[in-house]
Each structure stands twice: as C-alpha cells, then as structure tokens.
Structure 1
Amino acid sequence: MNIPNFLTSFRIVLVPVLVVVFYLPFEWNYLVSAAIFFLAAVTDWLDGFLARKLSQSTPFGSFFDPVADKIMVATALCILVDDFHTLWITLPAIVIIGREIVISALREWMAELGKRTSVAVSIVGKTKTLAQMSAITLMLLSPIPVMNWIGYAGIALLYISAILTLLSMVVYLKAAWPDLSPFKSHSEKRSK
C-alpha cells in the first residue's frame, strides 16, 4: 500500500462519512460535509500527482481512483438532490451521473478492444471535474433555508459542469466512434 493508494482508499471511506455527517441534526452539518467533500477532492488531485511524481502508479490505483471519484460525486449529488428537492438541481445531477455511467461503459468497451487510450482523460474532462468539485463543495456549504451567494455560485457552477460534462462525453464518443459505428460488425471490431 503506497501513499496514492492509501489516499484513494481514504476517499472511498469518506463516502459514508459524508452521508452520515450531512444528515446529522446539527447546524454545522453543512460546513463539515463541505469540508469532507473538499478533502476528498484534494485527495483526488493529490493521489494522481503523487502517483506520477513518485512513480507509484499501480493497477489498484488505476482502477479505484476513477471509481472513488465517481462514487463520491454521485453520492454528493444524490444528497444535494434530496436536500434541494427541485427539478433545477435534479436535471444537472442526472446529466452528470448519466454521463459517468456512459463513459465508464465506453472505457470498459474500448479496453476490451485494446483501445483504452483512445478514450483517455481530456482537458475538457479535467475542467469538468474541477467545476463539479467546486460546485458540490459550494452547494454543500449553503443550507437550503438560508440560500446565499455561495449556494447560487454553486448552482451556477453545477450547470457549467453539466455543460462541460456533455461536451466531454461528445469528445470521448467522437474518439471512440470508429469502433462504435453501427456499420461495423462485432467481429470486425475485435479483429483490429
């Protein structure tokens, strides 16, 4: 177990902690939930940085790092949808979670074809992740009855991240389209 793998595992452990703290009946639950999510976002960046810097990339980290990110983001979006209880938060959350499912399936499919690198993370995907993490942190900071500029900034960033989410999905699908084309048979795709 190296430091990047420890940070990835720690991020997964933070998921149930985030949920429990968010639903605690105390005034500070929003602040602590935002701090937990922010800590998870920082470990997301830090584990990747350390894995590259210390040459400690492992199959465990390669697999679990994106899984940990998706679990944390999907969980946080679900509790925010429950908290805000409005279509205007639910719609971008559906877009973001739906895109993660599509891209995960696409990466698995491309890996099966031996072309995983053709759907590697792009600059749009990295920008999308930054916008998502920022949006969720700001929205967790803002209690619903007392919406303030922090909450509204979070909602604006959530919509920006939903747009970036769709754009990054288009980039990935475009890169994979030659192998997904309905005009190729499954055996032709495997033979290449």
Structure 2
Amino acid sequence: MNVPNALTVLRIALIPTYLYIFFDPFPYHISIAYLILILAGLTDIVDGYIARKYKLVTPFGTMMDPLADKLMMMAVIASLFLTERISVWATIVFFMRDLAMIVTSAFYHIRGKKTVPANAFGKVTTVMFYIAFTLVMFQFPYGEPVLWMVIAFSIVTSAVYLMKVRLLNKLYVK
C-alpha cells in the first residue's frame, strides 16, 4: 500500500473517530471533532498531491479517495442533523446528491467506464462545504442558509461533472 492510499484509509478511519468525539459530552468535544474534520480534509489534499506528483495513482485510490470524502461529508451532515443544527430538508437534499454521486461513480467504475478527475469546481465546492460546516457546527448566524447555497452549488457542479463523464464515455466507446 502506497502513502496516498494509506492516507485514504486513515481518512476512512477518522470517520468513526469524528462521530464518537462529536457526540461525546466532554468539554470542547465539538472543537476536537472539528479538528478531526480539518485533519481529514488535509489528508485529502496531501494524498492527492503525492499521488499525482509521484505517479502513485492506483485503481484503489481512484475509487476510494472520493468515497472517503463523501463518507466523511455524510457523517458531518448526519451529526449536524442529529444535533438539530440543520434541517431535515438540508440533510435529505445533501444525502440524495451524495448518494447519487456514489452510485453513479460505482456504476461507471464497475462497468469499466472512464471517469474524469476532480476539477476546480469540485475543489471549490469542497472548500465551500468546509466553510459552511464551520458556520453550522459552531452555530454562527446564517450557517444553514450558507449550507443551502453550497448544496445548490454542489448540485450544479455535480451535473456538470456527470455531463463530462457521459460525454467522455460517448467519445471513447469500448
């Protein structure tokens, strides 16, 4: 297992750690859970950089890296919903979008189809989600409206991504 893949596995392991600490009632638990979330985000940046720079991209990393990101984001949304920081509708729309992305990616991967690498819109969306999570987690004013704007933006970027994947696979029919 190479370093980028090990970082992806670490990010997956951080999910239950985040949830355990987020829901534990000890003082500063939200701040510590937030630091775990930031650590997960940093491992995502580092593993992608190392994989590309040193040509360590693997089929495992190609599939598991985005899945690890989605699972962490879903854990954060679930924790925010269960602590009544966000509405059920924000939770449902977020989960529907992420589940659709996971299922679609798995469908293309299993069928041996090509996918496109993450683009600038996807990276901007991730940064925007981290900003929205910060606002909501620490209960700043307007946290959920900001989250709704990011969810809307993520739906648009997901649609663009899926159109690119479909176009790529029409051009390169096996």
When normalised by structure 1's length, the TM-score is 0.77
| Number of the residue aligned with 1:50 | 50
| Number of the residue aligned with 1:130 | 127
The alpha-carbon distance between structure 1 residues 177 and 116, as it changes in their structure 2 partners (threshold 3 A), is: closer
The alpha-carbon distance between structure 1 residues 113 and 25, as it changes in their structure 2 partners (threshold 3 A), is: closer
Distance 1:50 1:173 in 2: 26
Judge conservation of contact 1:124–1:164 (CA < 8 Å) in 2.
no
Judge conservation of contact 1:14–1:40 (CA < 8 Å) in 2.
yes
CA RMSD of aligned residues (A): 2.5
Distance 2:117 2:104 in 1: 11
- The Cα of 1:34 is off from its aligned counterpart by 0.5
Q: How does 1:142-181 map to 2 (within 5 A)?
A: 142=138, 147=139, 151-152=140-141, 154-175=143-164
Distance 1:47 1:66 in 2: 11
1:76 aligns with 2:76: yes
1:38 aligns with 2:27: no
Judge conservation of contact 1:132–1:157 (CA < 8 Å) in 2.
no
What letter matches 1:155 in structure 2?
Answer: E
Q: Which runs of 5+ in 1 are unaligned?
A: 180-190
- The Cα of 1:120 is off from its aligned counterpart by 4.1
What letter matches 2:60 in structure 1?
Answer: F
Q: Percent identity?
A: 31
When normalised by structure 2's length, the TM-score is 0.84
Tell me the SS of whatever aligns to 2:26.
coil
- The Cα of 1:25 is off from its aligned counterpart by 1.3
More divergent stretch after superposition (29-38 vs 93-102): 93-102
Match of 1:95 among 93, 96, 109: 93
Judge conservation of contact 1:134–1:154 (CA < 8 Å) in 2.
no
Distance 1:105 1:164 in 2: 20
| Number of the residue aligned with 2:102 | 104
Judge conservation of contact 2:8–2:65 (CA < 8 Å) in 1.
yes
Q: Which runs of 5+ in 2 are unaligned?
A: none
Q: Deviations over 1:83-102 (max 9, x none)?
A: 12553xx3233222211211
Judge conservation of contact 1:95–1:166 (CA < 8 Å) in 2.
no
